[in-house]
Amino acid sequence: MSEDKICAVDFCEGAAVASLAQQDFCLSHFIELCYENLQRIDPRGQKMGRVNLDLASLRAFIEECSHRTLEVALHCEDIDNLQRGRLLDILLWAGELFLLLRVPSRGFADSLLEEHDPLLTRLAARHF
């Protein structure tokens, strides 16, 4: 990313390290924005089912988020271990969500449990 760009968040003077949804963000705001959006679209944290958004749009955001996060993790030189861990967490969470959104109308855990495989049942019980 160009060194002369600054974060798009009001009153932030941090250097932009990544763009998301055609806006540039410093590392802290990029991580925060990714977490907020992943939490918003994660069906596991919602009481009333999935967010009513276009499935293609959700997948596109998850792919862009993953791609940008990987770019930052590989190319940003001034990140500490906590920030690097958060970037890894975003990548893992985005990967989980991508799989969840591939399951048509039933829940991910339900589809695993239907297989009646004891190992999958135990794995699903740990995560859901």
User: Which whole-number Å values give the CA distances from 21 to 9, 30, 37, 41, in the listed order?
Assistant: 13, 11, 11, 16
Helix (H, G, I), strand (E, B) or coil at 78: coil
Token code pair at residue 40? 């918003």
Q: What is the pLDDT of residues 80-102, one digit of tens each?
A: 999 999 999 999 999 999 888 87
Q: What is the pLDDT of residues 35-50, one digit of tens each?
A: 999 999 888 877 665 5
Predicted local confidence at residue 128, as pLDDT: 45
Amino acid residing at 87: L
DSSP state of 18: E
Helix (H, G, I), strand (E, B) or coil at 34: helix
H or E, element range at 47 = none
Distance CA 110, CA 18 (A): 36
